[in-house]
């Protein structure tokens, strides 16, 4: 049972971080379909930091450096969406889809180039971080606490306060609901939308490094992040673009994802003799079912996906 709780919390942390990122972007008026690609690039930044970080650093230094590298990689990659969607008014769905395809391909090429430069015979797309990963784990009575769980909880609290208790958050939401009205009272819609997309890049990048370190000490980047970016979008929609609801949805989806890791340890589930691949599919099946019954009642920001034209009223 402890193992199920442990995996549920870590997968929920991934979904929570990435879904909150999508929430900020969409509240600003920009649909971020590219969360999958942002996760991959964030994972790459964090994994490379762990690979080259000097030995002997304190655990807190390792944690902070990896978080910084992942967040920065996600932020830089999200600039592709910001520039294309805000400056050039490109179709946001197409740009996000292209970012997802590019993210995994680019990460694979870069890792293979790095590995082959260090060893000509090594052309794998894998990065190991066995020792560095230990800095993120604390064993508490058989429960393996991961510091990323705390990072996700802090991100949830900060997101709630920023969105609903600050001038910045209210302005951000105004730009996603009625950008012309926001502009008429002096709010720079372009800057606010840039802020929303870049925040989504930071949180998406963090989600990427949490995902690849969740259960393994080596990641093959050609595998991407197994659709977790899209699953996070489902969590965001199911959570109605509200941080607290998103957190509850993340726990639900995280539980179903965790079952695929621990189902063999439960006699009842093992006795059903259901193939492990079915448990791996559960979160995605559940997301389809949930969205089928709830999407008609969803209330997305009114102006999301619509390029802002200063001349329109």
Domains and CATH numbers, the chain: 2-297 (1.10.3470)
Give me the tens of pLDDT residue by residue for the chain, a chain 313 residues long. Answer: 788 899 999 999 999 999 999 999 999 999 999 999 999 999 999 999 999 998 889 999 999 999 999 999 999 999 999 999 999 999 999 999 999 999 999 999 999 999 999 998 888 999 999 999 999 999 988 889 999 999 999 999 999 999 999 999 999 999 999 999 999 999 999 999 999 999 999 999 999 999 999 888 999 999 999 899 999 999 999 999 999 999 999 999 999 888 877 765 565 566 667 776 777 788 888 888 888 887 777 889 999 999 998 766 5
pLDDT for 271 equals 65
pLDDT for 220 equals 95
CB 305 within 8 A of CB 33: no
- Report the chain's terminal Cα–Cα distance, integer Å: 57
User: What's the burial of 169, exposed, middle or buried (CB within 10 Å: 0-12/13-18/19+)?
Assistant: middle
The pTM assigned to this predicted structure is 0.95
pLDDT for 66 equals 97
Integer Cα distance of 203 and 39 in angstroms: 9
Write phi, then psi, for 83 (nearest 5 degrees): -65, -45
**Which residue's entry shows tokens 């063999």?**
264
Helices (H), 119-166: 130-133, 147-165
């Amino acid at each position: 049972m402890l193992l199920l709780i442990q995996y549920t919390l870590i997968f929920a942390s991934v979904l929570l971080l990435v879904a909150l990122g999508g929430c900020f972007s969409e509240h600003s008026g920009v649909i971020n379909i590219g969360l999958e690609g942002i996760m991959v690039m964030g994972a790459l930044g964090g994994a490379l930091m762990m690979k080259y970080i000097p030995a002997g650093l304190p655990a807190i230094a390792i944690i902070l450096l990896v978080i910084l590298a992942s967040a920065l990689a996600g932020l830089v990659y999200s600039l592709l969406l910001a520039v294309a969607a805000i400056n050039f008014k490109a179709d946001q769905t197409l740009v996000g889809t292209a970012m997802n395809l590019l993210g995994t391909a680019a990460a694979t090429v870069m890792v293979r180039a790095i590995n082959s430069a260090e060893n000509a015979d090594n052309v794998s797309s894998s990065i190991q971080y066995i020792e560095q990963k230990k800095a993120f784990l604390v064993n508490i009575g058989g429960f393996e606490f991961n510091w990323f769980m705390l990072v996700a909880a802090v991100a949830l609290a900060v997101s709630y306060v920023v969105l609903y208790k600050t001038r910045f958050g209210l302005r951000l939401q105004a730009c996603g609901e009625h950008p012309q009205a926001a502009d008429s009272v002096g709010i720079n819609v372009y800057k606010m939308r840039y802020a929303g997309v870049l925040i989504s890049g930071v949180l998406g990048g963090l989600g990427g490094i949490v995902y690849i370190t969740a259960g393994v000490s080596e990641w093959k980047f050609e595998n991407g992040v197994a659709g977790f970016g899209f699953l996070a979008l489902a969590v965001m929609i199911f959570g109605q673009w509200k941080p607290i609801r998103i957190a509850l949805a993340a726990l639900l989806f995280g539980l179903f994802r965790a079952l695929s890791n621990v189902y063999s340890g439960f006699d009842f589930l093992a006795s059903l003799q259901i193939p492990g691949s079915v448990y791996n599919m559960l979160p995605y099946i559940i997301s389809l079912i949930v969205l089928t019954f709830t999407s008609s009642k969803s209330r997305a920001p009114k102006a999301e996906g619509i390029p802002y034209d200063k001349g329109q009223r």
